[in-house]
């Protein structure tokens, strides 16, 4: 059975996330409508919120993005508003195994 998980932009989910499996989907909801979702290329870039080592997943002002877990591995996500990595540094980032 596949499951759907909502990441609402609040800090509680980012810190207390359930495990995901292949076939599940994770829906990122952007509450403030001024940030874009990124996936980091590696754990090191994720740890220090280095967005130059991340790929853009959403267009600016997107309300949501659905990521489908299609293979095993480690995946790292965070929002960025283009000028600040404040949300990432404050813990609004997600590591998925």
Q: What is the pLDDT of residues 79-91, one digit of tens each?
A: 887 767 787 888 7
Q: What is the pLDDT of residues 16-73, one digit of tens each?
A: 566 788 999 988 887 655 778 899 999 999 999 999 999 999 876 778 889 998 998 8
Of residues 30 and 13, more confidently modeled: 30
Element (H, E) at 28: strand 25-29
pLDDT category of residue 92 using cuts at 50, 70 and 90: confident
Q: CA-based Rg of the chain, rounded to a whole angstrom? A: 12
Please give the model's pTM, rounded to 2 decimal places: 0.82
User: How many angstroms separate the Cα of 80 from the Cα of each of 28, 29, 44, 49, 72?
Assistant: 13, 13, 17, 9, 25
| Spatial separation of the C-alpha atoms in residues 46 and 53, rounded to whole Å | 8
| Spatial separation of the C-alpha atoms in residues 12 and 32, rounded to whole Å | 16
Domains of the chain, with CATH numbers?
A: 4-96 (2.60.40.420)
């Amino acid at each position: 059975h596949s499951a759907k998980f909502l990441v609402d932009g609040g800090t509680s989910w980012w810190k207390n996330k359930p495990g995901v499996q292949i076939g599940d989907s994770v829906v990122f909801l952007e509450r403030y409508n001024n940030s874009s979702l990124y996936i980091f290329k590696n754990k090191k870039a994720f740890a220090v919120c280095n967005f130059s080592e991340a790929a853009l997943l959403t267009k600016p002002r997107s309300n949501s993005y659905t990521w489908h877990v299609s293979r095993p591995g480690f995946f790292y996500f965070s929002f960025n508003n283009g000028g600040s990595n404040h949300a990432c540094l404050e813990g609004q980032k997600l590591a998925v195994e």
